[in-house]
């Protein structure tokens, strides 16, 4: 089994979704709401003052890695629901598992759940956009490749 098409699609759809979520995040930032809080924190683990270019590259890399599990889920579940709905559900689950629990615990922060609704909904919306975007952009890939990728050997 060749996984190169899956990796290419992860980069393609992950890039598109990473770019599509940015204006939504910038809009929330413009209104003084917290989004994108952990990107600079993660980059600061390697760079004292990470430049904007490094933050952008990191954003894309996280998008590529985050797209891969969703693509595998889409290949498995596409007949049960539309790819956009599956992607949105993935975005919500990603937010809950990673951004609202794992990252706050890792950095010793309060969780958004402790901080209040204004700390929750902007990031939820951004992650819904990310997942739905991958569902939309990868729908042709999923339709062409259903049954071609298995997690376990045949």
pLDDT averaged per 10 residues, the chain (length 154): 84 97 96 92 89 94 96 86 92 96 94 93 97 95 76 49
Q: What is the pLDDT of residue 33?
A: 95
Say if 82 falls within a structural domain: yes
Q: What range does the domain containing 36 cover?
A: 4-145
Say if 153 falls within a structural domain: no
Span 64-106, pLDDT tens digits: 999 999 999 999 887 777 899 999 999 999 999 999 999 999 9
How many domains, in total, are found in the chain?
1
Q: What is the pLDDT of residue 79?
A: 76
Query: Do 141 and 78 form a contact (C-beta atoms < 8 A)?
Result: no
Say if 123 falls within a structural domain: yes
pTM, 2 dp = 0.89
Query: Do 17 and 63 form a contact (C-beta atoms < 8 A)?
Result: yes
Query: Do 35 and 122 form a contact (C-beta atoms < 8 A)?
Result: yes
Query: From CA 22, how far away is CA 35, in angstroms rounded?
Result: 10
Say if 150 falls within a structural domain: no
If 0-12 CB within 10 Å is exposed, 13-18 middle and 19+ buried, where does residue 79 land? exposed
Q: What is the pLDDT of residue 1?
A: 43
Say if 154 falls within a structural domain: no
């Amino acid at each position: 089994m060749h996984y190169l098409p899956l990796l290419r699609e992860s980069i393609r759809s992950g890039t598109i979704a990473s770019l599509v979520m940015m204006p939504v995040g910038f809009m929330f930032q413009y209104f003084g709401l917290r989004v994108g809080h952990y990107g600079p924190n993660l980059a600061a683990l390697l760079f004292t003052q990470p430049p904007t270019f490094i933050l952008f590259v990191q954003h894309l890399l996280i998008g590529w890695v985050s797209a891969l599990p969703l693509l595998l889920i889409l290949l498995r579940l596409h007949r049960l629901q539309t790819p956009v709905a599956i992607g949105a559900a993935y975005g919500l689950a990603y937010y809950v598992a990673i951004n609202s629990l794992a990252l706050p615990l890792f950095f010793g922060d309060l969780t958004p759940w402790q901080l209040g609704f204004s700390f929750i909904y902007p990031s939820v919306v951004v992650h819904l956009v990310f997942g739905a975007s991958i569902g939309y952009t990868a729908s042709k890939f999923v339709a062409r490749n259903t049954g071609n990728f298995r997690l376990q050997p045949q």
